[in-house]
Amino acid sequence: MRSTDAQKRDATRVISVRRVMFAALVICALIFGGTLLGAIPGVSGALSTSGDSEASATSTASGNSEIFAEKAFAEPAQSSSEDNSKEVRIGYYYGDTAFQDGFGDDERKSGYAYEYYQRLAPYAGWDYTYRYLTRSEAIEALRNGEVDIVAGINKTPQLEKEFLFSSADMGLDGNPLYFAVNKNRGDLLAELDQAQEDLLTNDPNFLADNRKKYYANSGMTTALTKEEHAWLEEKGSITLGYLSGNLPISGHDDQGKPTGVLGSALPIMEEYLGIPIKTKAFDSRYAMREAIKNNEVDVIFPVYDDAWSREKEDLYQTTPLVEDRIMVAYTGDYDDDVLKRVASTEAAIGQQEFLEQYDPSAELVNYPSRDEAFRAMSRGEVDSVIGNASIMQLFIAEHPEYDSFNTAYLEASEGFSFAVSRDDPTLAVIMQEATQQIDDTLITNAMIRYSEARAPFSLVEVIRHYALPLLVIGLVIIAAIVIVFLRYRRQVNLFNKHQAAAREALQTALDAADNASAAKTSFLSNMSHDIRTPLNAIIGMTAIAGANINDTNRVKDCLAKISSSGKHLLSLINEILDVSKIESGRIELSEEPFDLSVMLKDLVDINRPQADAKRQ
């Protein structure tokens, strides 16, 4: 038998399944009932006008049912939505590319109407197929049932007989344009009206954003009226006063021609107006505003986008030509005192008006130039410097001595407009129309192009910016030079030592050679004397023997002395040869016995003849 717990679990499963099935039936009934009500013409409109309380209740019930559906059956609901999507045929016609563009299934599509179609699709549950036609062909195809919807059609009494029209227009300025639906597709009209209502309820800014995206600064321009053309022809030219030194917003080149965003916009405005725009540069906003008061210029730029301030100055202003964020430069940490005492410049566009709104307690101190304003902050005279982000960034990039300051963006941004005297309302309208001709892309490109820093090359700045790397490189170079020098000096010292030793050896050898030479000279001198002595003895004895040839004893004595002198001479010659052996390192000593008395007698005999000769 099954246990009681098992039976309880089974009962719980049955109850859960029943609850899920009941919830599914309720959701299906709500969805089906809503679809039926939406399909009945006029019912949705009646419901929407039945009163605020009923609308609120309906919205609450619908919201609750949608939340329940998402929590309980998220995946099945998604699958059901995909299965129930409806194919709608669009008559997609050529003409205004800002309205519809991309005429091919593989071409990228865009445009006001195309984006409108895509935003309606999830609300209506539609998928689109496109037929690419001319406008007249699209209207004819709608009439014949070949397409289901065509956008941008005027609701005329004649066309209302042929087509169904959306309850709400498409939100474009001028003559209202509508979605036109095939006469036989009332179901699509009901879905379209409901989708438009839901879209604009959930995104109230859609029409304005879509219009701004495709038409605010695009090819769809407002033509000048005949009266405006006549006024411009009579005027002949317009004089524009502008602030110089405010790149990338406004500035001038070496020839005095406007640059920055203003310089990029002026050619387009001149072409639109059909008359030349003369320009006059000013260094301060005060001088520029005095000029328009004195009728020296007709228009001024830039002025801060603040209609109340312009009214006090008796000026009209256009919509902003360009917008920029506000930046403050400061030292130390950011705190409440950063905006206590703020520096600006006489050429600043609207910082005083901005601070009056952003922080009325802030004290604004004007300086003749940004450089002086930053120097004042360095000296502690002010707590910060305020300005437009693009202008401040460019200034700091061109003045690296200030890049150590901290910077911060304030929450708001400010727009910069043209301003015209209230005595010229026609010119104010014309300048507003001319401003609308400037494309956002041109503004962006000009901001980027004129935001490039053009700081002159300075060796001092390079050293200041790269002090540490340059110091390291310098120390490495110095160390390398010292090492090379020490090694070179060591090698030179070693070489000098070798040279000194070599010179000393050479000197020793030279001295030895000199001594040897002197010794040889002395030796030869002595030897020459010693050699002459036995030779003289031989010659003398020979002469005596010859003179006493008959004296046998005397001759024998002379011959004996001649023999002794010859032997002595031979020994001297042998000794000379022994000296050569000594010099060549082959000295040999020999020990031989001799008779001292004989040697003495020989010396006497050898030297006697000379002695006798000297006595005579």
CATH homologous superfamily, domain 236-449:
Bacterial extracellular solute-binding protein, family 7 (3.40.190.170)
- The per-residue pLDDT for range 185-234, each reduced to its tens digit, is 999 999 999 999 999 999 999 998 888 888 765 444 566 788 888 999 99
More confident residue, 461 or 76: 461
Looking at residue 59, its pLDDT comes to: 36
Structure tokens at 527: 């030897």
Question: Do the domains 86-216 and 236-449 sit in the same CATH topology, yes or no?
Answer: yes
Mean pLDDT over each residue of the chain, to the nearest integer = 79
Taking the alpha carbons at both ends of the chain, their separation in whole angstroms is 182
- Helical packing angle, 112-124 and 186-202, nearest 10°: 100
Looking at residue 81, its pLDDT comes to: 39
Residue type for position 28: C
Provide the pLDDT confidence category of residue 85 given band limits of 50, 70 and 90: confident
* Highest-pLDDT range among 271-285, 394-408, 453-467: 271-285
Q: Is the pLDDT of residue 66 over 60?
A: no
Q: Is the pLDDT of residue 402 over 90?
A: no
Q: Is the pLDDT of residue 551 over 90?
A: no
Looking at residue 163, its pLDDT comes to: 97
Q: Please give the average per-residue pLDDT across 2-18, as a whole number.
A: 45
Structure tokens at 231: 């006024």
Q: Please give the average per-residue pLDDT across 329-354, as a whole number.
A: 80
- The per-residue pLDDT for range 289-331, each reduced to its tens digit, is 999 999 999 999 999 888 878 888 999 999 899 988 888 999 8
Residue type for position 581: K
- 210-241 b/e with 16+ CB inside 10 Å = b? bbebbbebbebeeebeeebeebbeeeeebbbb
Distance CA 473, CA 481 (A): 12
More confident residue, 503 or 175: 503
Q: Is the pLDDT of residue 458 over 90?
A: no
In CATH, the number for domain 475-615 is: 1.10.287.130
Percent of the chain whose pLDDT exceeds 70 = 79
Partners of residue 281 on adjacent β-strands = 242
Domain coordinates of the chain in residue numbers?
4-80, 86-216, 236-449, 475-615
Q: Does domain 86-216 have CATH number 3.40.190.10?
A: yes
Provide the pLDDT confidence category of residue 616 given band limits of 50, 70 and 90: low
DSSP 364-395: EEEESSHHHHHHHHHTTSSSEEEEEHHHHHHH
Contact of 512 with 585, CB cutoff 8 Å: no
Looking at residue 427, its pLDDT comes to: 94
Label the pairing between strands 238-243 and 277-282.
parallel
Q: Is the pLDDT of residue 17 over 50?
A: no
- 517-542 b/e with 16+ CB inside 10 Å = b? eeeeeeeeeebeebbebbebbbebbe
Percent of the chain whose pLDDT exceeds 90 = 35
Helix (H, G, I), strand (E, B) or coil at 232: helix
Q: Is the pLDDT of residue 431 over 90?
A: yes
Q: Is the pLDDT of residue 14 over 50?
A: no
Identify which of 391, 342, 338, 394 has the alpha carbon closest to the alpha carbon of residue 363: 342
Structure tokens at 317: 């202003």
- The per-residue pLDDT for range 254-284, each reduced to its tens digit, is 898 999 999 999 998 998 898 999 999 998 8
Partners of residue 279 on adjacent β-strands = 240
Q: Please give the average per-residue pLDDT across 22-36, as a whole number.
A: 50
Contact of 548 with 616, CB cutoff 8 Å: no
More confident residue, 438 or 464: 438
Q: Report yes or no on whether pTM surpasses 0.75.
A: no
Looking at residue 521, its pLDDT comes to: 77
* Highest-pLDDT range among 29-38, 142-151, 203-212, 510-519: 142-151
